[in-house]
Chain A
Amino acid sequence: NAGVTQTPKFRILKIGQSMTLQCTQDMNHNYMYWYRQDPGMGLKLIYYSVGAGITDKGEVPNGYNVSRSTTEDFPLRLELAAPSQTSVYFCASSQRSGGVNIQYFGAGTRLSVL
């Protein structure tokens, strides 16, 4: 059971570069999310999706873009990377069951922008 898979695990970017963080899940979940986790802080929601073709902004969407062309994949795009985007990024998925949504997380991508 792979669950939620994120690639890459680590990345160093220069200011102004762009990159795509990949996320795929094999649980056929409708809902997917991108979070960032800054040191000593909780998770902040960047974008989320309720199904293929549907995405919406979370708390901190500026500087990021997403797409959801399939149920399985939910890539996060960083354009013009800035030092403020140095963080650990987590992708998660969930499905409502019995009135409850439990989120399943990937192992994270640690990004440094220098």
Chain B
Amino acid sequence: GNSVTQMEGPVTLSEEAFLTINCTYTATGYPSLFWYVQYPGEGLQLLLKATKADDKGSNKGFEATYRKETTSFHLEKGSVQVSDSAVYFCALSWGTNAGKSTFGDGTTLTVKP
């Protein structure tokens, strides 16, 4: 079956530190990959996506590259801010199958000033 494994949290960083959150997946074929972010008290919202191998998704200084050979989609940011404190979810989906997504368990990031 399909699954998404994220690095366990929580992750605590100082402001301006480099961020990496690891994500690996198991799936048949070539799904689309996503990172969603959940701020306190809110629903998930799309942060970035990649739809095929070697694609790089980017948004708000965050980046992730679709690596087919390592089945990975690690999230990175060069310099985090306090406002980046949130829970980050890696997910995969196909355009078919009713668009159902498989989510990782989430990684909580806290950035301290």
Contact = CB atoms under 8 A, between A and B. Distances in A.
A103 B91 CA distance: 11
A48 interface: yes
**Which secondary structure dominates chain A's binding surface?**
strand
A85 to B, nearest CB: 19
B105 A48 contact: no
Given A43-B103, A100-B32, A101-B93, A108 B98 contact: no
B98 A99 contact: no
A21 interface: no
Chain A CB count within 10 A is highest, among B32, B36, B89, B103, for B103
B100 A45 contact: yes
Contacts of B29: none
Given A4-B43, A102-B34, A108-B43, A96 B103 contact: no
Given A102-B49, A105-B43, A106-B43, A33 B105 contact: no
Given A42-B105, A107-B41, A102 B46 contact: yes
Given A4-B43, A102-B46, A33 B104 contact: no
Interface in B17-64: 32, 34, 36, 41-46, 49, 51
B104 A100 contact: no
Nearest to A54: B98
Interface string A13-48: 000000000000000000101000000111101001
A97 to B, nearest CB: 9
B43 A107 contact: yes
B99 interface: yes
B99 to A, nearest CB: 3
Interface of A: 4, 31, 33, 40-43, 45, 48, 50, 56, 58, 90, 92, 94-96, 98-108
Interface of B: 4, 32, 34, 36, 41-46, 49, 51, 89, 93-95, 98-101, 103-106
Q: 6 closest Cβ contacts across the A-B interface?
A: A101-B99, A105-B43, A99-B95, A42-B105, A42-B103, A43-B103
